Structure formats: C-alpha cells, structure tokens
Structure 1
Amino acid sequence: MVGYAFMGMAHSQGWRNARSFFTPPLRPALTALAGRDREAAADVADRFGWEGVETDWRALVERDDIDLIDICTPGDTHAEIAVAALEAGKHVLCEKPLANSVAEAETMAAAARAAAGRGVRSMVGFTYRRVPALALARRLVAEGRLGELRHVRAQYLQDWLTDPSVPMSWRMTRERAGSGALGDIGAHIVDLTRYLTGEHLVGVTALGDTFVRERPLPEGGGTAPVTVDDAVVFIGRLADGTPATFEATRCATGRKNAIRIELNGSRGSLAFDFEDMNVLHLHEGGTDGDTTTRGFTRILVTEPDHPYAGAWWPPGHVLGYEHAFAHQATDLLTAIADGSDPEPSFEDGLHVQRVLEAVQNSVERGSAWTAVDTGVPAGPAESSPPMKEEPIP
C-alpha cells in the first residue's frame, strides 16, 4: 500500500478485517507499506500488521513478492503509480477520484484495459458502494420496486472547513487535489447516482464558490491562497432523461459527513443519510393505500440476508464507517480469484472524472449547460439537455 495517513489506515483495517470476518478465495498478506516519512510509516505498519516499510513506492512495484498495489495518496500521484503498477503486472486498487484530470484518467483507463488482457485487475475506491444500506438500495431499484425513475437528489455535506483558521493542506490546492469539495466528496455522489440508477450523467449546469480564500500555513508565518472550491451545486440529466440535483460542500455548519441521496419513482421512493448509515427509508405503493399510514418505512439494514451484513454481528448490532473497506477488499479479492472485472472499474472512475470536468467548465462559463464527454463524438441530439419522451400533462 502507498500512503499511511487517514485513508491508508482505513484501507489497512479493511484488508485486515477482510481476512478475519470474510472468507475470500484469496487471503491478503500485508507485505509492505510505503511512505516518504519512514518513522511515521513504520508506526502505522506496526499498528496494523504490515510486514515491512518502503520510502519509495517504486520499490513496491519492483518487488516480486507483491501482487497488488493499493494507492492511498493525493490525486496528483495516482496516474504515475497506477500505470507503473499495471504495466508491472500488479493488480491495483486506487482511491477516488481516479485522477486530477480527464487526460490522466484516460491514461489510467487505457493502462487498465491493456492490463486486463493479461489477467491484471483494477478497481477504484468508491467505498460507499459497499455500505449495506446503499447496496440494498441498488438491489431494490434493479428489481423495479420504485417504478419509473423521476427524480434524483444527492448531497454530500461536511463542515470541517467552516472555520477560517483551519490551516492549509494539500486538499485545498488545485495542483495536488484537482478540485475541492467537487472532487473530494462530490465525486462520491456522482458515482453513487450511477451505481444506484444504472444511468450516467449526460450534461450539467453548475455554480461554485470559495468562501475562505486565504488559509494560515500549518507551520505558521503567513497564509496561502486556497485554489479550489469550498462548495459546488449543480443540476444535470441522466441518459434516460431523469433530472438530478447535486450539492457538495465542506462548509455546511453542523453537518459532519452527511451523504444524502433520495430517488423518487412512479411507484416508490428511497432515501439514505450516511449519518444514520445502517438505515434505509423506503416508500412503496405510490399514492395507493390508507392515507393515515402512507409514507416511508424505516429499514434497519443489519439482517443476515442484507448485503454484507451477515458476515458481521447479530441483527441490530450496527456497522460503522470502517466496515465498508473490508467489503471493498473482499470484493476485489473475489474478482481477482474469479478472473472477473471488479466494480467500480477505472472506466467508471473515468466517467466520474468527465462529470467533474464538465461541472468545473460550467462554473467557469457562468453556469452554462455543459455536456459530459462520453468518449465518443456527440450527435445532434446531445447538443441540448435530453428530456423524457412522454409529454407533460
């Protein structure tokens, strides 16, 4: 694994728990952890059971005793590490967003396609797909329980940058992070929308803002400019014409990690909030039934037949943030053993990157409607927002 900070520790626990609570066909050996600060990396390695430490990620790629590279570093390093690892025949798990630009993501996706022909697998770490309640939501949508989809609304709300005294970090510079709230957390709700609906965005119109434009340097002695967004809001259409709204901010006072997504269909709706992550709210029957009891049902997603939940605790013993990383590791190990393509793929990550680019372009063009690049030449019908075929009464 490359990287040992917040996400590196989350992934470390995921690999460790995948072999403790699940029975994947391959058993992960935590062979080596790479970080530029040997002392800090060695501390994390010791705490999570990594066998050794390297100070250069290239050493991991060159080692014959390593079969998979897990990338938990800032976005500006993803492309170089992932391409080198894939070309060396290593399977790759790469944190989201896939890259800092569409060009980098295209290079990574091309390397993944070439590697797949040699049996080498790759996956993007959109870990929220592995939250049991969201996996159940996908199943319900695929079963047609909501009917025809009519609305999608998605939010990712945090407040850790509300205070202007929070010091600068790599997440606040475009050169390192690519974008701010848009890529850091907005990427998740773009991916979740595609995961839940099976449809991709074809166009967006967006606005964004940076509320605190200068931040103190962490070592003191002045300030530095913030070169990314604090918040973005955008609307879009899915390929089937469904309208969708999105909001991503790191300045929503009082919201710690509120991933909220709601789908409304002709026969039902579902709603989820990560701050109550074990619960999925489901409404079925449209406007049928007794009006005195019509509404949402609260489902506690901890039963043995719910996705992933049966491997853990008895019903009602809820899961937390860290459990989805074990689900992610288990799914990837299973795909490698089966010779199947894991999801989300680098192609999925590339699509998200194209949406992020369209959002940024729309903001820079005064909220102009901006088509999402699909990787193929656009036809006349794609020059304006697609609409549902049926007329509005």
Structure 2
Amino acid sequence: MIGYAFMGRAHSQAWRVAPRFFDLPLEPRMGLLVGRNEAAATAAAGRLGWAEVETDWRRVVERDDVDLVDICTPGDTHAEIAAAALRAGKHVLVEKPMANSVAEAEAMVAAAEDARGSGARAMVGFTYRRVPAVALARQLVAEGRIGQVRQVRAQYLQDWLADDEAPLSWRLDKDRAGSGALGDIGAHIVDLTEFVTGERYVGVSGMLETFVHERPTAGSSDGLSSTAGTGRGRVTVDDAAAFTARLSGGGTAVLEATRVAWGRKNAMRFEISGSTGTLAFDFEEMNILHHYDASTPACDGGFRRILVTESDHPYIAAWWPPGHGLGYEHGFTHQAVDLVEAIAGGHDPAPSFADGLHVQQVLAAVERSSTAQGAFTAVGD
C-alpha cells in the first residue's frame, strides 16, 4: 500500500478485517507500506499492521513477492504508479478519482488493457457502491421496482472548508488534486448514481465556484507555496460544484457537491424517481433505504423504510444479527472482498479503470461547461 493517511488507514483496516469475516479464496498478506518519510511510515506500519516499510514505490513494484499494489496517494501520482505496477504484472487498486485528467485516465486504461493478458486486474476505489443499502438500491432498480428511471437528485455536502481560515492543503492545489469538490466528492455521486441506475451520463450543464481564494498555510505540511510575507496561499480548485445532466436512458439529473456547507460533515444523498416508484438514501442513515411504491393505494401510500441488516441483504451475512448496523469502514472491507474474489476468479473487478475513465470524462465535461457559462456539454467530447 502506497500512502498511509486517511484513505491508507481505511484501506489497512479493510485488508486486516476482510479475511477474518469473509471466506475468501485468497488470503491477503499486508506486506509493505510505502511512505517517503521512513520514520513516519514505520510508525504507521506498526499501528496499521504492515510487515515492512519502503520509501520508494518504484522498488516495491519490482519485487516478486508483491502481487497487488493499493494506491492511496494524491491524484497527481496515480497514473505513474498504476501504469508501472501494471507493467510489472501487479494487480492494482487506486483511490478515486482515478486520475487528475482524462488524458491520465486514458493512459491508465491502456495500461490495464495491456496487463490483462498477463492476468493483472485493476479497480477504482468507489467504496460507496459497497454500502449494503446502496447495493440493494441497485438490485431493486434492476428488478424494475421503480420502473423507468426519470429523475436523479444527488448531493454530497461537507463543511470542512466552510471556515475561511481553514488551512491550505494538497486538496486545494489543482496540480496535485485535479479539482476540488467536483473531483473529491462529486466523483462519488456521479459513480454512485450511475451504479444504482445502471445508466450513464451523456451530457451536462455545470457551474463551479471558489468562494475563498486564499487560505493560511500555517498548519499545512504539504509544502505548498504561500504568498510572500503573508503566510497565505492561493486556492486553485473549486469549493462547490453544481450541474444538471442527461442520462443515457433519457432521464434527467441534478447533482451538487460542496465542501463549504456549514453543519454537513459527510452528507451524501440520492433520490431516484422512476415511472412506478422512488428510492431514497442518505449516508447519515447508511443502514436505511426508503422505497415508495406508486402502485400502493393513495390512502395508505408513503415511503417504506427498509432496514438493510438482514442476512440476505448484500454483504450482511458475514457480519452481525439483524438490526445491528454497519459503519463507514465496512464499505472498504467489502471492496477488498470483491477485489480478492475477482482476482481469484480471473475476471475484471468493478468499477474498472474504464469506469473510472468515464467518471473522469463527466468531471471534465462539467469543468468545460462551467467555463462556457453552463453550456450543455456532451460527455467524452
């Protein structure tokens, strides 16, 4: 695993837990943790359960005893590391967004295609797909329980940058992060709503906004340049993104991603309305899925609350008795399980690098549309 901050911790817990709760066809061995600061990486490896430490990822991909490389670094490093690992015959898991640009994502897809012949598999870490209630929503749509998808509404709201004096970090540097709220959390709701509906976005009309253009560098360990003498640095990404979109099946969508919504910590929501019903989900109540069945008589109609903790719900059988809910970290465990099973079964995991490229194309179309004052922009053009 390369990187050991927020996502590195989440992935480490997943690799530890997955073989202890799920009957896996292969057993993951947590061999190497990679970080540039050897002392910090060594301390992290001890906490997180990694056997060895390395400071140069290039040496890792050359090792014969490494089968899979898990990339938990900032977006500007994803393409180079993933391509090198795939060329070396390693399986690859890379955090979302897959890349910082469409061109980088295309190169990663090409590398994955070339490596497939040697048996190497590649997956993007859109973990919210693995929330049981979300997986159930996909299943219900596929079964026709809401009919033809007509409208999608999705939000991802956070407030960690709502304070104008929140410090600068690599996530606010376009060269390192690629984009702001759009790529960081907007990518999730793009992938998630496509996953649930089984459709793809074909065009968008978008708007990006940066509300705070400079932030203090104090407390930032990312080495970003600051305005001389002021201790402040420039923000080069968006604080918020909003866009409408057209689905491949003809439906419409309204999506919003922001990191400046006071009071919202990790509020990811979607509502999908079809010709015969609606599904609604809110990650702040992640074990609940709401379903409205339009065939129910109006006199006793209403949303039905489904507690997604039964053993026949997706992923749940490996965990606790009904009613004992899961948490944020379980999606990462399910991701590890799905990847290991795909590798053992010799088939491509999902979401694939091709799926990640498509999300990148949607994000790029939103950016182009925003630059063109919200003009409708086809995805992939």
Unaligned runs of 5+ residues in structure 2 are: 221-229
String of CA shifts for 1:207-257, please: whole Å, max 9, x gaps. 111111100003486100100000010001011111011000001111111
Q: Secondary structure at the match of 2:341?
A: helix
Letter in 2 for 1:346: F
Q: State TM-score, norm by structure 2.
A: 0.96
Letter in 2 for 1:311: A
Question: Which residue of the partner structure matches residue 356 of structure 1?
Answer: 363
* Distance in 2, Cα, partners of 1:118 & 1:295: 52
After TM superposition, list the pairs within 5 Å mapping 1:304-315 onto structure 2. 304-315=311-322
* Distance in 2, Cα, partners of 1:53 & 1:368: 49
* Residue 333 of structure 2, aligned match among 309, 326, 337: 326
Q: State TM-score, norm by structure 1.
A: 0.93
Question: Which residue of the partner structure matches residue 173 of structure 1?
Answer: 173
Question: Which residue of the partner structure matches residue 247 of structure 2?
Answer: 238
Letter in 2 for 1:169: S
Change in 2 beyond 3 A, CA 1:219/1:303: closer
Letter in 2 for 1:237: R
String of CA shifts for 1:185-205, please: whole Å, max 9, x gaps. 000000011101111111100
Question: Which residue of the partner structure matches residue 226 of structure 2?
Answer: none
Please report how far the alpha carbon of residue 283 of structure 1 lies from its aligned counterpart in structure 2 after TM superposition.
1.0
Question: Which residue of the partner structure matches residue 274 of structure 2?
Answer: 265
Please report how far the alpha carbon of residue 292 of structure 1 lies from its aligned counterpart in structure 2 after TM superposition.
3.4
Question: Which residue of the partner structure matches residue 224 of structure 2?
Answer: none
Q: Secondary structure at the match of 1:256?
A: coil
Maintained 8 Å contact 2:149/2:249:
no
After TM superposition, list the pairs within 5 Å mapping 1:85-100 onto structure 2. 85-100=85-100
Aligned residues: 372
Maintained 8 Å contact 2:218/2:231:
no
Please report how far the alpha carbon of residue 49 of structure 1 lies from its aligned counterpart in structure 2 after TM superposition.
1.2
Of residues 200-209 and 216-225 in structure 1, the stretch that sits farther from structure 2 once superposed is 216-225
* Distance in 2, Cα, partners of 1:369 & 1:111: 32
Maintained 8 Å contact 2:154/2:254:
yes
Question: Which residue of the partner structure matches residue 387 of structure 1?
Answer: none
Letter in 2 for 1:43: A
Please report how far the alpha carbon of residue 325 of structure 1 lies from its aligned counterpart in structure 2 after TM superposition.
0.6
Question: Which residue of the partner structure matches residue 56 of structure 1?
Answer: 56
- 1:347 paired to 2:351: no
Q: Identity over aligned residues, as a percent?
A: 65
Question: Which residue of the partner structure matches residue 28 of structure 2?
Answer: 28
Please report how far the alpha carbon of residue 293 of structure 1 lies from its aligned counterpart in structure 2 after TM superposition.
2.1
Question: Which residue of the partner structure matches residue 229 of structure 1?
Answer: 238
Q: Secondary structure at the match of 1:310?
A: helix
String of CA shifts for 1:121-180, please: whole Å, max 9, x gaps. 000000000000000000000001001111011110111100011100000010000000
Please report how far the alpha carbon of residue 60 of structure 1 lies from its aligned counterpart in structure 2 after TM superposition.
1.1
Letter in 1 for 2:38: R
Letter in 1 for 2:365: A
Unaligned runs of 5+ residues in structure 1 are: 375-393
Of residues 42-51 and 79-88 in structure 1, the stretch that sits farther from structure 2 once superposed is 42-51
- 1:10 paired to 2:10: yes
* Distance in 1, Cα, partners of 2:219 & 2:311: 50
* Distance in 2, Cα, partners of 1:349 & 1:116: 16
Letter in 2 for 1:372: V
- 1:251 paired to 2:260: yes
String of CA shifts for 1:79-101, please: whole Å, max 9, x gaps. 00000000000000000001000
* Distance in 1, Cα, partners of 2:219 & 2:309: 45
Question: Which residue of the partner structure matches residue 384 of structure 1?
Answer: none
Question: Which residue of the partner structure matches residue 277 of structure 1?
Answer: 286
Letter in 2 for 1:367: G
Q: CA RMSD in A?
A: 1.0
Letter in 2 for 1:354: Q
Question: Which residue of the partner structure matches residue 337 of structure 1?
Answer: 344
String of CA shifts for 1:304-334, please: whole Å, max 9, x gaps. 0000111111111111000111100000000
Letter in 2 for 1:88: A
Letter in 1 for 2:97: P
String of CA shifts for 1:319-361, please: whole Å, max 9, x gaps. 1000111100000000000001100000000000000000000
* Distance in 1, Cα, partners of 2:346 & 2:296: 47
* Residue 324 of structure 2, aligned match among 317, 323, 339: 317
* Distance in 2, Cα, partners of 1:310 & 1:156: 29
Question: Which residue of the partner structure matches residue 296 of structure 1?
Answer: 303
Letter in 2 for 1:60: V
